[in-house]
């Protein structure tokens, strides 16, 4: 199958190019029978494609042009593929040419937002100022521009927090409140920050948070371990380390009897609360509400 070759720009004639250029700066209309209007629109699109393939200097202007056909809505119509067209091919038709942003500007104007330029600004745009601006943009050296260097804003932080998975949301909540486990019995030691936290206590804390927040598909203990080791250093200090709190207790039991401990329990060295928060923010790219604290 032979592919149709795109005609050269010169084969379209200067009138069509002038029509596209005029539409790049403002709206105007042409009245034609429907069958002629369709051919006119197709010729304009073909010219624009030829300008693109030829890398013509005017393409950046005409690429913005939008072309629409309208006719009397009360006239009989028929289906042509996915489109509705007049039944009579000689139906008077209005061909409207405009910049792509005209509809947007009109919508803002209807909402009371004025985008009209003063006479001097309009003259500058329509007498070559717009072309000069586009020329400057096309020739601006952006070789040193880093597209991934996104400005840091509060809105970006908020978006990142909403996109966190359950493990990061849980750990962020732990760092914001300043303790790992919420005690059932009000045991004070659980409301304090500890520079070392056992893996078992962290796992219980995560499960508790998932229950509180109705997370029906929590991550596994192995996934929790992989996440924590990406951020903090593993540790296994000597002596008894807190691994949890008893499930049930009788009235009058001392606080020490409510705490579950294990010798040389494996876990993670977090450092101070400020250090743990800074490490999380550095590794996960998210800062919690603690940034507003004095």
Read off the pLDDT of residues 188-212 as tens digits, 9 standing for 90 and up: 999 999 999 999 999 999 999 999 9
**In terms of residue numbers, what domain contains 80?**
9-100
- Angle at 227 (CA atoms; ends 223, 231), nearest 5 degrees: 165
Cα distance between residue 57 and residue 46, in whole Å: 16
The answer as to whether 276 is a domain residue is yes
Q: What's the average model confidence in pLDDT over 40-44? A: 86
pLDDT score at 115:
45
* Sheet strands (E) in 64-191: 65-71, 77-80, 83-86, 92-99
Q: How confident is the model at residue 116 (pLDDT cuts 50, 70, 90)?
A: very low
The answer as to whether 260 is a domain residue is yes
The answer as to whether 140 is a domain residue is no
Q: Are residues 163 and 286 in the same domain?
A: yes
Cα distance between residue 118 and residue 126, in whole Å: 12
Q: Are residues 165 and 277 in the same domain?
A: yes
Q: What's the average model confidence in pLDDT over 126-150? A: 72
Q: Are residues 92 and 201 in the same domain?
A: no
pLDDT score at 156:
73
The answer as to whether 90 is a domain residue is yes
Cα distance between residue 59 and residue 50, in whole Å: 9
The residue from 100, 129, 162 where one domain ends is: 100
Q: Are residues 72 and 195 in the same domain?
A: no
The answer as to whether 113 is a domain residue is no
Residues 229-283: pLDDT tens digits?
999 999 999 889 999 998 887 777 777 888 899 999 999 999 999 999 999 999 9
pLDDT at 121 over 90: no
The answer as to whether 240 is a domain residue is yes
CA dihedral 193, 195, 199, 202 (to 10 degrees): 20
Contact 271, 279 (CB under 8 A): yes
Q: Are residues 90 and 171 in the same domain?
A: no
Q: Are residues 276 and 170 in the same domain?
A: yes
Q: How many independent structural domains does the chain possess?
A: 2
The residue from 100, 134, 162 where one domain ends is: 100
SS3 content of the chain, % helix, strand, coil (to 5): 45, 15, 35
Q: Are residues 210 and 282 in the same domain?
A: yes
Flag whether the pTM goes above 0.75: no
The answer as to whether 122 is a domain residue is no
The answer as to whether 187 is a domain residue is yes
């Amino acid at each position: 199958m032979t592919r149709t070759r795109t005609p050269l720009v010169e084969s379209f004639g200067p009138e069509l190019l002038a029509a596209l250029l005029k539409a790049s700066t403002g709206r105007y209309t042409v009245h034609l029978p429907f069958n002629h209007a369709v051919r006119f629109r197709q010729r304009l699109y073909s010219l624009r494609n030829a300008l693109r393939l030829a890398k013509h200097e005017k393409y950046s202007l005409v690429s913005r042009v939008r072309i629409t056909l309208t006719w009397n809505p009360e006239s009989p119509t028929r289906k042509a593929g996915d489109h509705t067209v007049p039944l009579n091919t000689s139906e008077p038709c209005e061909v409207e040419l405009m910049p792509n942003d005209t509809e947007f500007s009109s919508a803002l104007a209807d909402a009371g937002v004025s985008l009209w330029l003063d006479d001097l600004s309009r003259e500058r745009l329509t007498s070559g100022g717009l072309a000069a601006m586009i020329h400057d943009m096309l020739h601006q050296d952006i070789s040193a521009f880093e597209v991934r260097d996104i400005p840091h804003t509060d809105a970006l932080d908020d978006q990142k927090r909403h996109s966190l998975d359950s493990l990061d949301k849980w750990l962020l909540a732990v760092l914001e409140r300043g303790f790992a486990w919420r005690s059932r019995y009000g045991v004070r030691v659980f409301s304090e920050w500890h520079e070392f936290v056992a893996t078992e206590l962290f796992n219980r804390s995560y499960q508790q948070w998932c229950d509180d927040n109705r997370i029906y598909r929590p991550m596994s203990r192995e996934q929790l371990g992989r996440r924590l080791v990406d951020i903090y250093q593993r540790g296994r200090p000597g002596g008894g380390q807190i691994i949890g709190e008893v499930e049930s207790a009788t009235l009058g039991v001392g606080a020490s009897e409510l705490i579950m401990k294990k010798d040389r329990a494996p876990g993670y060295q977090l450092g101070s609360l400020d250090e743990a928060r800074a490490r999380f923010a550095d590794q996960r790219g998210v800062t919690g509400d603690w940034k507003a604290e004095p």
